[in-house]
């Protein structure tokens, strides 16, 4: 009986450490930066379509070039935002850092999903499915995070399901609005986390 109580107490301590380390591992600044980045994507896309795509269309393999260019641009941009906003080296214990870290294969899941939907001709479903996948990730980490992360996960999952219906209406530039919605959700989450911290 004493061993059981000791184990339960240690589990509670671990859960408390996870909850308290969340604001260091995934700080409010990261949510604000990623939210701002997502809000900027439609502007970047307007720039690409107006000034870059026309030049790339003159190449013989324009579609792959456009896809590769955008992938590199957004990957580098968001990886840089993440590195600038998460300054946790030396602060967190390596075990806690590993617990909060994304599995290296996780970014391949939305990329593979988007690629398969694109090849199958279901491009309007790409953004909704990625929203749902990211929402599931937030729901997974919300077990040991601030309650606002549960709200963010719920927002992404419900928004993704609703946008599947909106995709059936074939609204022009729907994914611009979905990205803006995701960005705004991240900014609000970041502001709430920052407000709670201060």
At 172 the three-state DSSP class reads: coil
Largest CA distance in the chain: 75
Q: Confirm whether 7 is domain-assigned.
A: no
C-alpha pair distances (Å), 74 with each of 44, 52, 59, 87:
10, 15, 22, 21
145: which DSSP letter? S
Q: Provide the pLDDT for residue 188.
A: 93
> For the whole model, what pTM was predicted?
0.74
DSSP track, 68-103: HHHHHHHHHHHHHHHHHH---TTTS-HHHHHHHSPP
Q: Confirm whether 9 is domain-assigned.
A: no
Give 157's pLDDT tier (boundaries 50, 70, 90): very high
Q: Confirm whether 125 is domain-assigned.
A: yes
Average pLDDT, the chain: 79
> How many domains are contained in the chain?
1
Entry field: residues in the chain = 198
Domain encompassing residue 160: 27-197
Rounded Cα distance between 73 and 18, Å, is 33
DSSP track, 21-79: HHHHHS-HHHHHHHHHHHHHHHHHHHHIIIIIHHHHHTSTTHHHHHHHHHHHHHHHHHH
pLDDT in tens, 59-113: 656 666 777 777 788 878 877 877 777 665 456 667 666 666 666 667 677 778 8
**184 has a pLDDT exceeding 70:** yes
* 113-139: average pLDDT: 85
Q: Confirm whether 122 is domain-assigned.
A: yes
């Amino acid at each position: 009986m004493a061993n059981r109580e000791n184990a339960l107490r240690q589990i509670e301590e671990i859960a408390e450490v996870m909850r308290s380390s969340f604001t260091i591992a995934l700080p409010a600044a990261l949510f604000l930066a990623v939210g701002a980045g997502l809000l900027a994507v439609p502007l970047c896309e307007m720039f690409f379509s107006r000034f870059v795509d026309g030049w790339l269309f003159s190449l013989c393999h324009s579609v792959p070039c456009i896809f590769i260019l955008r992938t590199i641009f957004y990957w580098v941009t968001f990886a840089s935002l993440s590195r600038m906003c998460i300054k946790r080296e030396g602060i967190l214990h390596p075990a806690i850092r590993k617990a909060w870290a994304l599995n290296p294969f996780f970014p391949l899941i939305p990329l593979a999903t988007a690629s398969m939907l694109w090849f199958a001709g279901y491009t309007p479903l790409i953004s909704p499915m990625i929203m749902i996948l990211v929402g599931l990730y937030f729901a997974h980490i919300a077990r040991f995070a601030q309650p606002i992360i549960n709200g963010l996960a719920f927002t992404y999952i419900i928004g993704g399901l609703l946008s599947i219906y909106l995709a059936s209406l074939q609204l022009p530039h729907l994914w611009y609005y979905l990205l803006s919605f995701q960005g705004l959700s991240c900014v609000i989450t970041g502001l709430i986390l920052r407000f709670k911290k201060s």
